[in-house]
Chain A
Amino acid sequence: MTGLKPSSGDERATASWADLARNAGDGAAPEDRPEDLRQLLTFEIAGSPYAVPVERVREIVRIRPITPVPRVPVEVRGVISLRGEIVEVVDLRRRLDLPPIEPGRSTRIVVVSSETGKVAGILVDAVREVLRVSEDTINPASSGESTCVEALCVRGEEFVSLVDLDRILEIDAEY
């Protein structure tokens, strides 16, 4: 499935999704404490890293024509077809109050699902990598600051924002 090739840069364009996950495992903490380890898929929006748990990612697809849906909030860009399934695409930039940009070569749609099985695509500037991080590097986000970041993962100098998928997936209204 070509759709599963994550490729934030060209050097990774041929790496398979499973390879990426495995590579991430190699450099990280030992395997004997899997309970405390979390795998995160990181991606970029406006230069900053964001992440979602790997187990919630169904696939990553290249940008494709998005059919707009009338009279919905701007953050819903429209719908795409995934092998017969029709899935809404949420523009995370809009959700984070950032100006939208024209999709480019590295733009991807990360297809995620909620625990209840709800599915949506998330439009991101670029996909980076799969991280294996230990549970104690994850800190809850200070409340009230953001609408869709639920935690921050400290990676040396950098903070990776963990996206609150339930918030993204439950706009929960009729339009």
Chain B
Amino acid sequence: MAKKRAPTRRRSSKADREFISEAEEIVERMRDDLADLNDQRSESDEVDPELVNRIFRSAHSLKALAGMFGFDPIQELAHRMEDILDDIRLGRVSIHSSAVSLIEEAVAVFGSMLERLGEPDAIADESERIANLTQRIEAARSESQSDSGGFGALDLDPSILRALTEYEEHRLRENIERGRNIVLVESIFEIISFEEGLSDLSAAIREMGEVLSTLPAPGESPDSEISFSLLAATELSLAEMTDRLNFPNAKVRLVLDNPAGKAAKRAREPAPAAESTESHPELHAGERNPEGDALHSLKSISDTVRVDIRKLDELMNLVGELVIQRGAIGEVVARLLADTKTARIGTDLDKVCKMLDRKLKGLQASVLDVRMVPLRQMFDKVSRVLRGLRRELDKDVRLDIRGADTELDKLIVEELVDPLMHIVRNSLDHALETPEERIAAGKNPEGCIKVEAFQRGNHVVIAVSDDGRGIDSEKLRTIAEERGVIRPDENLTEQEVLDLVFVPGISSRAEVTETSGRGVGMDVVRSNVTALGGVVDIASTPGRGTTISMTLPITLAIIQSLVVRVAEHRFAIPLNSVMETLLIEPAEIQRSEGREMLNLRGDPLLLRRLATEFELTSPPADAKQFVVVLGMGDQRIGMLVDNLEGQQDTVIKPIQGPIQSVRGVAGATELGDQDPVLVLDVASFVDGSIRKREAA
């Protein structure tokens, strides 16, 4: 038996691509920010400090990225760039010096290196240029170090001055030079809610100026309280500021009454900035916020920790197990309460448990929050790929992206990139017509693909719509019949026909690609999304376009489940899909076309027996049955089960092993007693795809 080794070369080229795609993103951002910076430099003598910070952060990220992938020359240059940007943002090097042109040059070098990274000698070819550039950057740095002045004029405790970071000192100096007044706002907060209070106060101050530093004040305050001093710069006078700052516990003290300020302010009176200070505080807030945040985000460069997602999984697992253990304690409490002799202890324990519950909820929420990421990055990737494809395919298309700030569990996002890319690619490849065809059809020659994300209840919907030719359902049906997926006499609704694109036997055929405007592998998209506990829907109007939407749970983490029983088997159903439960007599079940139905307050509800779907032993037909009404999207079905066993917090886990996925099963979970219980994939029951296998 020869030992198998992963082929390292192929892996490294994949790594290269990964690096290039991420690095390109960063360099692109640097170019944009540099352009803005140059605009600002040419217009005034003051640039937005956040802009410099952003470029600094980009250089920092690029350095880290290049280091991770082992591109030493890029790392080195990014490092130098970071140094000089650091000097600029700390005021050691003037923004008007030649430093900026050096930075521009460095960005250009990054760009050309990334383009050529696939070539064997790319790095070697550029190394001389890089060495030369790093030298010049070093020279520029040592040349233009400006001196740092004292803060003698400030009426400020030296201990506060000492506590300032170099950046904060620089901002302080900068603001004094700009003629702004410096104030110290002191405030006391309740210790339990100080974070909120502090951030409210900071926000209020930011509306009037810039928060330079937030320092905990030395405490003669009682234990339940904590005081903070906020050093701030403002163009307002002390009186104006005290007047506007509506915080009963906050005291404002003038640290520097800047004489230069009044002149400067008068001179600039008609200028928009000054005006907004006077009459539109909310406008001003928007303008100032980035500056104030810059302080925080700057700090976060060193405060941020990159965490392997698997570690978060472990954490999530532990939290999940805690919740399960908590469930077990609940059972003990119930036993204690049931016995009059132990009822008192039970009550006490119950109280403690309730407190534990609150803390657990908080813990769950924080761990969840860590995992959430905005969809922006994924959408950016899609947009990049689309731009490339557009050139390749010579199609005129506009990408309309909405809802990029919608957040989703990082793991789900990772798993979504491929399906989303697939759908968008299909739209471009097959659904959109050529410009000529579009003109002939009376459409705008430029096609449009809209990628939209929004939250709906406990789910996030990501929808891709195009305004292309739509799906020819007649042809789709014909092909399905030819392939034996459906019988010619089968009675299908329009929607059921459209859903055929997700059936493996159909969508993997190339012919359908051309005729129906939908490409290969939609079955793969569906199985990927299903594995995440989501559902894919399709809607199409011939000649008008197609919309494919993926509905996904916000997180794969802890959810409430309803535990049901069929024969001796237990199953968990995610509670967010359960609309209601009913107890019915067998006589209430009606039949239509061989399907079992229930009259649910005047509406027909299709029934499915879990025992039948899963080929389990059926209960005697005359027993009372429970109906769990399941809803997903707009569809409803009733699931017949033998018994309901109650609600539980559950952590859905993937099933590991040789069988990749089981239709109807989303994963498994452990209940208090440690036996795994299968979690139903509600979507496949609701949309009937649990039966598609037999059909295909």
Contact = CB atoms under 8 A, between A and B. Distances in A.
A151 interface: yes
Interface in A69-128: 69-73, 76, 79-81, 84-90, 115, 118-121
21 contacts: A67-B668, A67-B675, A69-B678, A70-B616, A71-B662, A76-B659, A79-B655, A79-B676, A81-B675, A84-B321, A85-B653, A86-B656, A88-B656, A88-B659, A115-B4, A118-B657, A138-B1, A174-B693, A175-B659, A175-B662, A175-B663
B658 A171 contact: yes
Given A86-B654, A150-B1, A151-B1, A81 B659 contact: no
Contacts of B294: none
Interface string B654-673: 11111111111101111000
Contacts of A76: 657-659
Given A80-B676, A81-B676, A85-B653, A71 B614 contact: yes
B320 interface: yes
Contacts of B127: none
A: contact size bracket: 35 or more
Given A70-B615, A81-B676, A86-B668, A120 B656 contact: yes
A146 to B, nearest CB: 15
A173 interface: yes
A3 interface: no
Interface of B: 1, 4, 6, 317, 320-321, 527, 569, 613-616, 653-665, 667-670, 674-678, 693
Contacts of A162: 1
A19 B438 CA distance: 75
If over half of B's interface residues share one DSSP class (helix, strand or loop), that class is named, otherwise mixed; here it is mixed
Interface string A152-175: 000000000010000011111111
The 9 closest A-B pairs by CB, nearest first: A88-B657, A70-B614, A171-B658, A86-B668, A120-B657, A81-B676, A119-B656, A84-B317, A67-B676
Contacts of B527: 174
A72 B615 CA distance: 11
Contacts of A90: 657-658
Contacts of B569: 68
B644 to A, nearest CB: 19
A87 B657 contact: yes
B681 to A, nearest CB: 12
Contact of A172 (B655, B658, B677): B658
Contacts of A151: 1
Given A71-B614, A174-B527, A86 B667 contact: yes
Contacts of B663: 71, 174-175
A65 interface: yes
Contacts of A73: 659
Contacts of B654: 86
Contacts of B674: 81
Given A67-B677, A69-B678, A118 B656 contact: yes
Q: Which of A65, A85, A118, A140 has the most CB of B within 10 A?
A: A85
Contacts of B616: 70
A84 B665 contact: no
A168 B1 contact: no
Nearest to A84: B317
A172 B688 CA distance: 23
Nearest to B675: A65
A81 B663 CA distance: 20
Nearest to B664: A70
A173 B665 CA distance: 14
Contacts of A174: 527, 659-663, 693
Contacts of A120: 656-658
A174 B670 CA distance: 23
Contacts of A168: 658
A173 B663 CA distance: 11
Given A81-B670, A84-B317, A86-B654, 5 more contacts: A69-B678, A115-B4, A138-B1, A169-B658, A174-B659
Nearest to A80: B676
Nearest to A78: B676
Nearest to B668: A86
A151 B317 CA distance: 39
Contacts of B670: 81, 84, 86
A76 B655 CA distance: 12
A117 to B, nearest CB: 9
Interface centre among B660, B661, B664 (most CB of A within 10 A): B660
A90 B4 CA distance: 24
Which of A73, A81, A138, A150 has the most B CB atoms < 10 Å from its CB? A81
Nearest to A88: B657
A173 B504 CA distance: 13
Given A70-B615, A71-B615, A150-B1, A85 B656 contact: yes
Contacts of B658: 76, 88, 90, 118, 120, 168-172
B659 A69 contact: yes
Specify which of B660, B676, B678, B693 lies most central, judged by the most chain A CB atoms within 10 Å of its CB. Answer: B676
A73 B614 CA distance: 13
Contacts of A68: 569
Contacts of B676: 67, 79-81, 86
Nearest to A117: B656
A65 B676 CA distance: 9
Contacts of A86: 653-656, 667-670, 676
Contacts of A81: 668, 670, 674-676
B656 A172 contact: no
A69 to B, nearest CB: 6
